[in-house]
Each structure stands twice: as structure tokens, then as C-alpha cells.
Amino acid sequence: MSFSGMQFPFGEVVGEDQASSEEWLRLGVEEKIYASKAMSNFRKSFDCLESCQLKACSLCLSIFPENSIIKKRPLIYWWMGEGMVTKTNNRTSEEVGESVFKDLINEGFIIPICENSSPNINSCMVHPWVRRMLIVVATWKPSIGHHRALLLAGSSDSYSAMTEDTLTVFNVTEQYLGFKSDWLSKLKTVEVLQLGRWQSSVKHHMEVENENLVVDLKKKKKVEYDVSLNGLGTQTSLRYLSLRGVSRLTALPRSVLNLISLEILDLRACHSLEKLPSDVSALRNLTHLDVSECYLLESMPKGIEELSALQLSTEAVLRSFSVPPNLKKLDLRCLPITTRPNWLEPVGLISLEKLYIRGGELSSLELQDEQKWKVKILLLKYLKNLKVDKPKLHEMFPELEYLE
């Protein structure tokens, strides 16, 4: 049985706001819905899902606000972090997560969304009635879910909801990350800290408080908060840490290197991030490291070449990378790909004057369509796979003034 063809009572509700939802509750409309045939059919549809894996993953959809556009990648990372999807003999855990995502589309639990005219499905929505029904099912089958603490804007219960058996802390709507100094000490077995942005739109701004003392408006006094995340090192069960899209975060504490179980570190679009902890070789289980759109990041830390568990999906990120067209100097170090990415060509870097490529697996700089670089200074070092003679280089770089 699939949910995709089901008719919803009382018509469509896309765009329903909080006020109308409260009005429906007052009039008892929701009680009628939950007692309706549609709800009964949904329960049957949920019970007919092929696996407990699909059921557990679908229930995660109930926490998001109505009509939210949800990025696929953070959703799959969450499933991976809680162990709802795991690797098999022939598929990585991320590939299993992709399969679950497709199954939920086929079952009608989520609506796929293609953004920016891309053929790829990178986001989704949950129909309001599906979400409401999932919330009810979660109360029917609480054993399927895990103990989770949700960070909600304006809620005083977010912090108190955390206990030593909390497995997931998920930031649903909190814009400012300012935690009490001992918040991490409460958590003993946490596996997922999804503190960053899960929304599709970059308009959902998030930041850390940069003041150690902030005003508690209720008590009208200053309360000390620790926003440095230094207590992270004690979370040895943590598998997924997301600070995606959090601004005003300039560095990560060195205690991150104590996260021996960490598999996914998502720092995408942390625009203020300037450096990572030195020598990340201690993170032996790290499979995913996303630092795309971290434009102030000076360099990758040493020891990254020793992380044998890092998956090759990192190469896909590098190939889809974009650089500012007016860039004058480009310094590339330890590129893990063998062929020249599409963004590394003259047509997209018309102002480039200095090009440094040091270390990595790059084996070719060949250009198509007889393009020519305007680069004046070219530095190529420690490229064991790159085989190109000087006459060929001068042909590709006719304006060279310095070559090393």
C-alpha cells in the first residue's frame, strides 16, 4: 500500500499558518481528521512499509515545521549518525541512505524538490497531513524512535530536555546558539549533534553568540554561557556533528580530535571559519568532511592524508566547486583528484595572475578548445603524477614571467 494516491480530508493545506492550526484545534477539526478513514489508511500504509528502517527514517520527518524545504544531505547524515542506515557488503551507508530517500518518495511520504533548474533531487517537503499523521504514529509506536532533544526558538525547555540518555540533539528552529556552560556534560551517549542548518534556503541565518555574558530577560540578570564547544571531547559516542551554515564561528576547539567515533563532520557554509584543529589523523573513523563554502579557511590540516575511511564522494564536491571570476591568486594543495576539474580553466578565471598547485594526485592540465591562460606566475611542486614538459606549459601559459 502506498500513501502517494491517498485523498486528504478537508482539502489541501499547503501554506497553513500557526494561527489557523490553533483555530482548527479549538474547533476540534484535528480530532475529526485523526478519526477519519484517511488516518486509518495511513496507519495501514505505515505498517506495510517493507522494513523497520523505512519506518524509523520516516518518523524523523515529523519534527520539521510544516511546509519546510528540507535538504537531503543533512537528513541522510542524521540517519547515518543514529545508525538507522548502515553500510552493507556492496554499498556505503550514504548509498543506503539515498535508497531510503528514494523509497520514501515512491511511498509518497516526501515530495521531491529540484532546485535551481537542476535535474538532481537535493531537497524535499513533507505534506502537512503526512507530517501530522507521522506525529500521531510516533505516539502509537514510541519504541521505533530514539530519545531526542529538539532546540526550538523561544522554548525554555530545549536545554532541560537533554538527559544522559539523549542520543540526538537536533536544532529545529533555534537561530542563536548560546548554551549553558555544562550543557554537554549532561550528555553521556549522544550520537548526533545537528546544531547547524538543515533548511534548503540560505536565508535561514544562524550564528553563535559571541558574548560570554548574555542577558536572561526573564530573570533580568546576566547569565554565563559557554559557546566554545570545548566539552565536545567527552562525547566519545558522537558520530555526526553538524555546524552547517553557522556564522561567527572562527575555529573549532582542539577537543574535537577526541571524538574517536566521529564519522561525519559537516562545516559547510561556515563563512567565518578560519582554521581547523591541527593534525586530524586522530579521527580515524571520519568518512565525511564537508568544508565547502568555507571561504576564509586557510588550509586543510595535516594528517588528512592518513584518514583512510574518507570516502571518494569528496571528489564530487571538488568537481562541483566554484571560484570567484575575479580571483587573482589561486593556491591549491593536495588535490585528491587525478584529472583537472572543470572550474580550473581560463574561461572561468579570466583575472588569474598567480597559480600555485602543490601536492596531490593531479596528472594533467590539458585544456580544450585551444584555451590560453593569462597566468604570469606558475608554481607546480610535489606533483608525482603530473607529466608535462616546459614547451607545452609555455604554450598553455604564454604570458608566464615565472615558472617553478
Let me know whether 84 and 111 are in one domain. Answer: yes
Q: Which of 80, 110, 145 is the last residue of a domain?
A: 145
Q: What is the mean pLDDT of the chain?
A: 77
Same domain, 280 and 212: yes
Residue 316 included in any domain? no
Cα dist. 52→242, 259, 276 in Å?
26, 29, 38
pLDDT band, very low/low/confident/very high, at 30 (cuts 50, 70, 90): low
Grid look-up 535561514 returns 204
Q: What is the pLDDT of residue 240?
A: 97
Question: Does 153 share its domain with 269?
Answer: yes
Contact 203, 210 (CB under 8 A): no
Q: Is the pLDDT of residue 194 over 90?
A: yes
pTM, rounded to two decimals: 0.70
Domain end marker among 311, 334, 362? 311
Question: Is there a contact between 284 and 309 (Cβ–Cβ < 8 Å)?
Answer: yes
292 in the same domain as 235? yes
Same domain, 3 and 110: yes
Domain count across the chain: 3
CA dist., res. 241 & res. 267, Å (int) = 9
Confidence label for 85 from pLDDT (cuts 50, 70 and 90): very high
Q: Are 170 and 284 members of one domain?
A: yes
Task: Provide, rounded to the nearest whole percent, the portion of the chain with pLDDT above 90.
Answer: 21
Q: Contacts by 18-27 with C-beta closer than 8 Å and gap 24+? A: 21/66
What digits encode the pLDDT tens for the residues 115-150?
766 567 889 999 887 888 888 777 665 544 458 888
**Structural domain ending residue among the three candidates 125, 145, 165:** 145
Q: CATH number for the domain including 176?
A: 3.80.10.10
Task: Please tell me whether residues 91 and 207 are part of one structural domain.
Answer: no
| Amino acid in position 243 | L
Q: What range defines the domain where residue 35 resides?
A: 1-145
**Strand, coil or helix: 402:** strand
CA pseudo-torsion sign 67, 71, 76, 78: negative
Q: Are residues 333 and 274 in the same domain?
A: no
Most confident residue range from 153-162, 165-174, 302-311: 165-174
pLDDT at res. 237? 95
Predicted local confidence at residue 145, as pLDDT: 44
